[in-house]
Amino acid sequence: MTNHAPSIWRDRLRSPLTWHYVGTALLAVLVIALAVRLGLDWSATNGSSTDALVGKQVELKALNLQLAPLRGLDKRVEQSRDEMQEFYSKRIPANYSSIATRIGEIEVKSGVHLSRVQYAQGPAGTDLTEITMDAGISGEYPQIMRFINGLERDETFFVIRAMALTGQQAGMVNLRLRVSTWLRPADAAQSGLPPAKDQPDSTTTPATTPAKEGE
């Protein structure tokens, strides 16, 4: 029995069928190993591609957000230009005489009295030139308020730059008033107005003699 077993193993090892089985098993193990490696590589490649795709999508979204304010910018610029031209045509006076005429109309309507009225113009701007009116204003308090409200609400664009109390007597109030409006540079050049001098600050009382009633 002892000598018979090794003989059987030697016969099996010499048999081509045995080596066929061994080769088949080895090939099967190799195929399985390659399949596992291929699966791992595919998973890694697929994950990397997905990450890259997500990254590109994030970049595209960020770029869209950055470009959003610029969309339609040409239309908004054109709209702003039209609104500016409309403002100029409606609220910027055509010439100096129209400024004086309009202020005179508001004076009469409110019941105040203007005195020592002086007009001057600032440096010529690219689009507009500032025109200032410096005057004394006297009247009862309600009249003065009507005059100021009339300036602020008038279709002509007036801006009150300074206003200071210079006197009060028997129900009459005297103020020093400085008002600005604007002309187009070409219109301002034909006005013949002197250049504006440094004006007193609105928080200080101008060093002028108070306007007298009826002046």
Domain count, the chain: 2
Q: Is there a single domain that holds both residue 185 and residue 143?
A: yes
Q: 58 lies in a domain?
A: yes
Residue 124's domain comprises 94-189
Q: Is there a single domain that holds both residue 102 and residue 185?
A: yes
Q: pLDDT category, 205, cuts 50, 70, 90?
A: very low
Q: Is there a single domain that holds both residue 127 and residue 172?
A: yes
What are 24's two structure tokens? 């088949």
Q: What distances in angstroms separate CA 188 from CA 43, 139, 170, 185, one per listed residue?
A: 78, 31, 41, 5
Three-class secondary structure of residue 98 per DSSP: helix
**pLDDT value for 4:** 56
What are the backbone dihedrals phi and psi of residue 47, each rounded to the nearest 5 degrees, phi first?
-65, -40
- Whole-model pTM? 0.57
Q: pLDDT category, 181, cuts 50, 70, 90?
A: very high
